[in-house]
Chain A
Amino acid sequence: MKLGRKIALSGLAVALAAGAAARLKDQPATTPVTINELSAIALARTTPDASSQGSALPLIVSDSGPEEALTRILAEIEGNRLSNALQLTENLLRQHPNYRLAHLIKGDLLLARKQAINTFGALTDAPADKVADLRAEAIARLAAYREKPPADFVPRYLLQMQPDQRFAIVVDTKRSRLYLYENDLKNGGQPRFVADYYVTQGKLGAEKLVEGDKKTPVGVYHVTANLPRQKLADLYGSGAFPLNYPNEWDKRQGRGGSGIWLHGTPSDTFARPPRASDGCVVLTNQDLDVVAKNLQVGLTPVIISNSVEWLSLDDWARERSELNKSIDAWRTDWESRDTERYLTHYSKRFKAGEHDFAEFSAQKKQVNAGKEWIKLKIDNVSVFRNPGKDEVVVVTFDQDYRSNNLNNQMKKRQYWLREGNQWKIIYEGSA
Chain B
Amino acid sequence: MTSISLLQPRFQKLKTLRAMAIGLAIGFAIPALADNLPEVQRLIKQGQYPQALEKIDAYLSSRPKDAQGRFLKGLIYTEMNKPADAIAVFTKLSEDYPELPEPYNNLAVLYAQQKQYDKARTALEMAIRTHPSYAIAYENLGDVYAKLASQAYDKALQLDNANSTTQNKLALIRDLITTSSKGNVKPQPAPVAAIAPVAAVAAKPAVAAAPSATIVTSTPGAASASPASKPTAVATAPAPAAAVATPTPAAAPTAAGSDDVVKAMNAWADAWSRKDMRAYLGAYANDFDTPKGMSRKAWEQEREQRIAGKGGNISVSFDTPQVTINGDKATAKFRQHYKATGLSSSTTKTLIFVRAGSKWLIKEENAR
Q: In this assembly, does B145 line the interface, its C-beta being within 8 Å of a C-beta of chain A?
A: yes
Instruction: Identify which of A110, A114, A131 contacts B152 (C-beta below 8 A).
Output: A110
Nearest CB of chain A from residue B184's CB, rounded to whole Å: 15
B150 and A103 within 8 A (CB): no
Instruction: Give the distance in Å from the alpha carbon of A203 to the alpha carbon of B51 in the complex.
Output: 65
Contacts of B149 in A (CB 8 A): 106-111, 114, 123
How would residues 107 to 128 of chain A score, 1 for a CB under 8 Å from any chain B CB and 0 otherwise? 1111101110000010111110
Contacts of B158 in A (CB 8 A): 100, 130
Contacts of A127 in B (CB 8 A): 157, 159
Q: In this assembly, does B97 line the interface, its C-beta being within 8 Å of a C-beta of chain A?
A: no
A101 and B157 within 8 A (CB): no
Q: Of residues 324 to 363 in B, which have CB atoms within 8 Å of A's CB atoms?
A: none
A104 and B159 within 8 A (CB): no
B153 and A126 within 8 A (CB): yes
Instruction: Identify which of B143, B152, B163 contacts A103 (C-beta below 8 A).
Output: B152
Contacts of A134 in B (CB 8 A): 156-157
B157 and A104 within 8 A (CB): yes
A126 and B145 within 8 A (CB): no
Instruction: Give the distance in Å from the alpha carbon of A339 to the alpha carbon of B157 in the complex.
Output: 65
Given contacts A103-B152, A106-B152, A110-B152, whether A123 and B157 have CB atoms under 8 Å apart is yes
Chain B contributes a number of interface residues (CB within 8 A of A) equal to: 16
Instruction: Identify which of A101, A114, A125, A131 contacts B145 (C-beta below 8 A).
Output: A114
A104 and B145 within 8 A (CB): no
Nearest CB of chain B from residue A155's CB, rounded to whole Å: 34
* Residue from B149, B150, B151 with most neighbouring chain A CB atoms (10 Å): B149
B153 and A103 within 8 A (CB): yes
Q: In this assembly, does B148 line the interface, its C-beta being within 8 Å of a C-beta of chain A?
A: yes
How would residues 129 to 154 of chain B score, 1 for a CB under 8 Å from any chain A CB and 0 otherwise? 00000000000001101101111110
Instruction: Identify which of A104, A108, A111, A125 contacts B163 (C-beta below 8 A).
Output: A125
Q: In this assembly, does B155 line the interface, its C-beta being within 8 Å of a C-beta of chain A?
A: yes
Instruction: Give the distance in Å from the alpha carbon of A411 to the alpha carbon of B159 in the complex.
Output: 53
Instruction: Give the distance in Å from the alpha carbon of A235 to the alpha carbon of B150 in the complex.
Output: 27
Given contacts A106-B152, A125-B163, whether A111 and B146 have CB atoms under 8 Å apart is yes
Q: Main secondary structure on chain B at its contact with chain A?
A: helix
B156 and A104 within 8 A (CB): yes
Contacts of B152 in A (CB 8 A): 103-104, 106-107, 110
Q: Of residues 73 to 132 in A, which have CB atoms within 8 Å of B's CB atoms?
A: 98, 100-104, 106-111, 113-115, 121, 123-127, 130-131
Instruction: Give the distance in Å from the alpha carbon of A103 to the alpha carbon of B145 in the complex.
Output: 13
Instruction: Identify which of B145, B151, B159, B163 contacts A113 (C-beta below 8 A).
Output: B145
Nearest CB of chain A from residue B117's CB, rounded to whole Å: 9
Instruction: Identify which of B151, B155, B157 contacts A131 (C-beta below 8 A).
Output: B157
Given contacts A108-B149, A110-B145, whether A103 and B156 have CB atoms under 8 Å apart is yes
Chain A contributes a number of interface residues (CB within 8 A of B) equal to: 24
Q: Nearest CB to that of B147 among chain A residues?
A: A110
Q: Nearest CB to that of A89 among chain B residues?
A: B152
Instruction: Give the distance in Å from the alpha carbon of A107 to the alpha carbon of B163 in the complex.
Output: 14
B157 and A100 within 8 A (CB): yes
Contacts of B153 in A (CB 8 A): 103-104, 107, 121, 123, 126
A130 and B157 within 8 A (CB): yes
* Residue from A104, A107, A108, A134 with most neighbouring chain B CB atoms (10 Å): A107
Nearest CB of chain A from residue B203's CB, rounded to whole Å: 33
Instruction: Give the distance in Å from the alpha carbon of A121 to the alpha carbon of B150 in the complex.
Output: 11
B156 and A110 within 8 A (CB): no
Contacts of A125 in B (CB 8 A): 163
Nearest CB of chain A from residue B260's CB, rounded to whole Å: 35
Contacts of B157 in A (CB 8 A): 100, 104, 121, 123, 126-127, 130-131, 134
A107 and B159 within 8 A (CB): no
Given contacts A100-B157, A103-B156, A126-B153, whether A110 and B148 have CB atoms under 8 Å apart is yes
Q: Of residues 150 to 189 in B, which have CB atoms within 8 Å of A's CB atoms?
A: 150-153, 155-159, 163
Instruction: Give the distance in Å from the alpha carbon of A417 to the alpha carbon of B209 in the complex.
Output: 95
Instruction: Give the distance in Å from the alpha carbon of A125 to the alpha carbon of B149 in the complex.
Output: 14
* Residue from B142, B148, B153, B157 with most neighbouring chain A CB atoms (10 Å): B153
Nearest CB of chain B from residue A199's CB, rounded to whole Å: 20
Q: Nearest CB to that of A123 among chain B residues?
A: B153
Instruction: Give the distance in Å from the alpha carbon of A126 to the alpha carbon of B158 in the complex.
Output: 10
Instruction: Give the distance in Å from the alpha carbon of A101 to the alpha carbon of B155 in the complex.
Output: 9
Instruction: Give the distance in Å from the alpha carbon of A38 to the alpha carbon of B21 in the complex.
Output: 77
A111 and B155 within 8 A (CB): no
Nearest CB of chain B from residue A387's CB, rounded to whole Å: 34
Contacts of B163 in A (CB 8 A): 124-125
Q: Nearest CB to that of B152 among chain A residues?
A: A107
Contacts of A102 in B (CB 8 A): 156
Q: Of residues 362 to 392 in A, which have CB atoms within 8 Å of B's CB atoms?
A: none
A123 and B155 within 8 A (CB): no
* Residue from B148, B151, B156, B159 with most neighbouring chain A CB atoms (10 Å): B156
Contacts of B145 in A (CB 8 A): 110-111, 113-114
Contacts of A114 in B (CB 8 A): 142-143, 145-146, 149
Instruction: Give the distance in Å from the alpha carbon of A104 to the alpha carbon of B159 in the complex.
Output: 12
Instruction: Give the distance in Å from the alpha carbon of A100 to the alpha carbon of B155 in the complex.
Output: 6
Contacts of A101 in B (CB 8 A): 156
Q: Nearest CB to that of B143 among chain A residues?
A: A114
Contacts of B156 in A (CB 8 A): 100-104, 106-107, 121, 130, 134
Instruction: Give the distance in Å from the alpha carbon of A113 to the alpha carbon of B138 in the complex.
Output: 11
Instruction: Give the distance in Å from the alpha carbon of A102 to the alpha carbon of B145 in the complex.
Output: 16
Nearest CB of chain B from residue A307's CB, rounded to whole Å: 29
Nearest CB of chain B from residue A391's CB, rounded to whole Å: 44
Q: Nearest CB to that of A134 among chain B residues?
A: B156
Instruction: Give the distance in Å from the alpha carbon of A114 to the alpha carbon of B158 in the complex.
Output: 22
Q: Nearest CB to that of A90 among chain B residues?
A: B118
Contacts of B159 in A (CB 8 A): 127
How would residues 103 to 143 of chain B score, 1 for a CB under 8 Å from any chain A CB and 0 otherwise? 00000000000000000000000000000000000000011
Instruction: Give the distance in Å from the alpha carbon of A414 to the alpha carbon of B213 in the complex.
Output: 98
Instruction: Give the distance in Å from the alpha carbon of A123 to the alpha carbon of B156 in the complex.
Output: 11
Instruction: Give the distance in Å from the alpha carbon of A298 to the alpha carbon of B155 in the complex.
Output: 39
Nearest CB of chain B from residue A282's CB, rounded to whole Å: 17
Contacts of A131 in B (CB 8 A): 157
Nearest CB of chain B from residue A104's CB, rounded to whole Å: 4
Contacts of A104 in B (CB 8 A): 152-153, 156-157
Given contacts A101-B156, A107-B156, A131-B157, whether A123 and B142 have CB atoms under 8 Å apart is no
Instruction: Give the distance in Å from the alpha carbon of A340 to the alpha carbon of B9 in the complex.
Output: 113
Instruction: Give the distance in Å from the alpha carbon of A108 to the alpha carbon of B150 in the complex.
Output: 9
Give the interface of B toward A (CB within 8 A): 142-143, 145-146, 148-153, 155-159, 163
Top 3 closest pairs, chain A to chain B, by CB: A107-B152, A104-B156, A110-B149
Further 9 A-B residue pairs, CB within 8 A, beyond A103-B155, A134-B156: A100-B158, A104-B156, A107-B152, A110-B145, A111-B149, A114-B146, A123-B153, A124-B163, A134-B157
Q: Please, could you name 7 A-B residue pairs with CB atoms under 8 Å apart, sorted by A?
A: A104-B156, A109-B149, A121-B153, A121-B157, A123-B149, A131-B157, A134-B156
